[in-house]
């Protein structure tokens, strides 16, 4: 009798060795190489711009000195660039992170991949880890480049504190951390929403919300702010809040403005005063004692004389690195948490 051929495969092993992790290296790279190439391209172009700008700035500083450059076009350029670059982590999170899982679910390829021998949790862990590391490294390099480019003018004078929102999160470890958390938000959005485009929008929204909350409410209080009553703050200080007291009792800003107006002055920046209108003398009598025309210049003395004190809470520029580590730390923890949650959701997903 013709016997049916015996199975060509080995008998089941009692304990199965897992499929080697290194197999996923090629898989992740091959599937996401276009995205990663795009990432490198975008950051590369930005990087080239920063490099050129950095060289220019150094040249200018050598020729004209720090203060000149920091007060002039150098500052404008930086503010514009920085504002533009603010969105980079969110975009990276949306374009690199969101599609990773959302595309598998949207196209149905998860029915193929999650039934291979590798196992879906290990697959997710390997892929997410690899992409997270890649994204973080590239972002870290970019943050370093940004710092190098503008280091001549940051912290040189008031209004350019290294702690201020517009540059803090583009430098040091913060940029890498914000990019990592954007990626983590993206992959989580992908598994929850299961469609690429909606997940991308959700990532942008969620990241923006987090960034706003962090910048407005968390970062000012990483360490207890210093308080001073002087009007001259250190140049690199980041002012958080100011309040006025009159003879020790809190008094509103309006009251202060009204008093200042009598001498034709107003506070244009923390501790800085200027004229209310075109440079002409005040009309009321009280100020006459202080002279006409430039009376506003003596506003600080005038206020002190009348018992006003301004208390300013601020963070000194020297706290830049401690703050960077704090922010980087909690963002890293949050990212790991989000990625862990994503892997757990992959495990639980039912077709």
Partner 1 sequence: MTIDKGVSGSGTAEASPSPSGGGDGKKPPDGPRGSGSPIEFRLDAASGVPTYLQLVQQVEHALRLGYLKPGDQLPKVRDAVASLAINPNTVLKAYRELETKGLASGRPGQGTFIEATLSQVALPELATLHRSLLGWLASADGAGLDEDGIVALFSSALRDFFKGRDRPADRRADRKGGTEGVA
Partner 2 sequence: MNVIETSGLGKRYRQTWALRECTLAIPAGHVTALVGPNGAGKTTLLNLGVGLATPTAGVVTVLGGVPAGSPAALDGIAFVAQDMPLYKPLSVADMLHLTRNLNRRFDQGYALARLGELGIPLKRKAGKLSGGQQAQLALTLALARRPRLLVLDEPLANLDPLARHDFMATVMATVAEHGMSVVLSSHVLAELERVADYLILVSGGRVQVADEVDSLLSTHRILTGPASDARTREELTVVHERRAEAQAHLLVRTRGPADPVPLGWEAHPVSLEELVLAYLREPGAAALPGPARTSNAEPTEVTR
1 binds, among partner 1, partner 2, none (CB under 5 to 8 A by kind): partner 1
CA triple 196-202-204, angle to 5 deg: 105
* CB nearer partner 1, residue 6 or residue 224: 6
Q: Which is closer to partner 2, CB of 28 or CB of 335?
A: 28
169, 215 contact by CB (below 8 A): yes
Residues 6+ away with beta carbon under 8 Å from 180: 132, 135, 136, 139, 331, 332, 335
Pick from 1, 63, 108, 217: which binds partner 2 (CB under 8 A)?
108
Instruction: Determine, following the binding rule CB under 8 A, whether residue 107 of this chain makes contact with partner 2.
Output: yes
Q: Where are the beta strands (DSSP E) in the chain?
A: 226-228, 238-246, 249-251, 265-269, 272-275, 308-315
Give the helix/strand (H/E) hosting 248.
none
Asked if 2 is part of the footprint of partner 1 (rule: CB under 8 A), the reply reads yes
- Residue labelled with tokens 């009348």: 306
Q: Which is nearer to partner 1, 3 or 289 (CB)?
A: 3
Residue 136: CB minimum distance to partner 1, A: 53
For residues 121-150, which are near partner 2 according to CB under 8 A?
123
Question: In whole angstroms, how close is the CB of 197 to partner 2 at the nearest point?
Answer: 18
Answer whether 181's CB lies under 8 Å from 209's CB.
no
Strand partners, 249: 246
9 binds, among partner 2, partner 1, none (CB under 5 to 8 A by kind): partner 2
Q: Which does 250 bind (CB under 5 to 8 A by kind): partner 2, partner 1, none?
A: none
**DSSP 8-state secondary structure symbol assigned to residue 221:** G
DSSP state of 13: P
Considering the complex, state which of residue 4 and residue 16 has its C-beta at the smaller distance from partner 1.
4
Contact region with partner 1 (CB under 8 A), list: 2-10, 35-43, 273-281, 335-343: 2-10
Q: Is 12 in the site for partner 1 (CB under 8 A)?
A: no
Q: Which of partner 2, partner 1, none does 115 bind, CB closer than 5 to 8 A by kind?
A: partner 2
Q: Are 256 and 237 in contact (CB under 8 A)?
A: no
Residue 347 beta carbon to partner 2: minimum distance, rounded to whole angstroms:
10
Q: DSSP letters of 69-112?
A: HHHTHHHHHHHHHHHHHTTHHHHHIIIIIHHHHHHHHHHTTHHH
Question: Quick check: 119 binds partner 2 (CB under 8 A)?
Answer: yes
Using DSSP's 3-state secondary structure scheme, residue 309 falls into strand
Q: Which is nearer to partner 1, 5 or 14 (CB)?
A: 5
- Chain contacts with partner 2 (rule: CB under 8 A): 4-10, 12, 16-19, 23-24, 26-27, 30-31, 107-119, 123, 350-351
Residues that bind partner 1 (CB under 8 A): 1-5
């Amino acid at each position: 009798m013709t016997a049916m051929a015996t199975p060509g495969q080995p008998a089941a092993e009692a304990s199965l060795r897992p499929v080697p992790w290194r197999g996923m290296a090629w898989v992740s790279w091959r599937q996401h190489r276009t995205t990663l190439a795009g990432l490198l391209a975008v950051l590369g172009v930005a990087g080239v711009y920063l490099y050129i700008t950095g060289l220019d700035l150094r040249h200018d500083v050598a020729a004209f000195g720090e203060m000149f450059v920091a007060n002039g076009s150098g500052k404008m350029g930086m503010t514009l660039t920085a504002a533009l670059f603010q969105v980079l982590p969110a975009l990276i999170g949306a374009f690199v992170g969101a599609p990773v899982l959302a595309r598998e679910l949207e196209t149905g390829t998860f029915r193929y991949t999650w039934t291979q021998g590798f196992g879906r949790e290990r697959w997710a862990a390997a892929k997410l880890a690899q992409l997270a590391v890649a994204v973080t490294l590239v972002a870290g390099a970019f943050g370093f480049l940004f710092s190098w480019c503008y280091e001549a003018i940051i912290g040189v004078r008031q209004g350019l504190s290294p702690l201020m929102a517009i540059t803090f999160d583009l430098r040091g470890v913060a940029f890498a951390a914000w990019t990592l958390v954007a990626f983590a938000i993206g992959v989580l959005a992908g598994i929850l929403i299961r469609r690429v485009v909606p997940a991308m929008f959700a990532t942008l929204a969620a990241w923006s919300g987090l960034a706003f909350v962090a910048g407005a409410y968390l970062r000012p209080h990483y360490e207890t702010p210093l308080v001073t009553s002087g009007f001259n703050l250190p140049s690199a200080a980041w002012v958080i809040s100011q309040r006025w007291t009159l003879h020790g009792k809190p008094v509103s800003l309006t009251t202060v403005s009204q008093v200042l107006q009598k001498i034709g002055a107003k506070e244009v920046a923390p501790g800085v005063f200027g004229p209310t209108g075109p440079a002409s003398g005040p009309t009321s009598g009280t100020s006459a004692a202080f002279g006409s025309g430039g009376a506003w210049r003596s506003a600080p003395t005038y206020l002190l004389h009348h018992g006003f004190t301004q208390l300013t809470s601020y963070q000194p520029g020297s706290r830049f690195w401690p703050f960077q580590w704090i922010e980087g730390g909690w963002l890293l923890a949050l990212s790991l948490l989000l990625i862990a949650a994503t892997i757990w959701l992959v495990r639980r997903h039912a077709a």
